[in-house]
Amino acid sequence: MQSLIHGNFEGSAQRKVYALVGAAAAIAAAVGPLLGGFITTYLSWRVGFLLEVAVIGIVLSGIRLVRDVPYTGARGVDPVGGILSVVGMGGIVLGILVWQEGGESVGALLAVGAVALAGLIGWLVRRKRQHKPTLLDPALFRSKVFRLGISGEMLQQIALGGAMIALPMYLQIVLEYNAMQTGLTVAPLSLSMFGIALLAGKNAAGRRPSSIVRWGFTLLTAGLVVLIPLVPRADSGWSPVVPFDHRGIGAGPVGIPAQQLHPVPDLGGAGQ
pLDDT at 53: 92
pLDDT at 203: 56
Is 269 a member of any domain?
no
Give yes or no: residues 59 and 151 share one domain.
yes
Give yes or no: residues 39 and 93 share one domain.
no
Total of domains in the chain: 2
Is 114 a member of any domain?
yes
Handedness of CA 103, 105, 109, 114 (dihedral sign): positive
Please state whether the predicted TM-score (pTM) of the whole model is above 0.75. Answer: no
pLDDT at 84: 95
Return d(Cα 54, Cα 197) in angstroms, integer.
27
User: End of a domain among 132, 156, 171?
Assistant: 132
Give yes or no: residues 44 and 165 share one domain.
yes
Tens digit of each residue's pLDDT, the chain (272 residues): 777 777 778 777 777 777 677 667 666 766 777 788 888 888 888 888 898 899 899 988 988 877 777 767 667 788 999 999 999 999 999 999 899 888 888 899 999 999 999 999 999 999 999 888 888 888 888 888 788 878 877 877 777 777 777 777 777 888 788 888 887 777 777 677 666 666 655 555 556 666 777 777 777 777 777 777 777 777 766 666 656 655 555 555 555 544 444 444 444 444 43
Give yes or no: residues 31 and 123 share one domain.
no
Q: Which domain holds residue 49?
A: 2-71+143-261
Give yes or no: residues 184 and 212 share one domain.
yes
Give yes or no: residues 181 and 252 share one domain.
yes
pLDDT at 259: 44
pLDDT at 92: 94
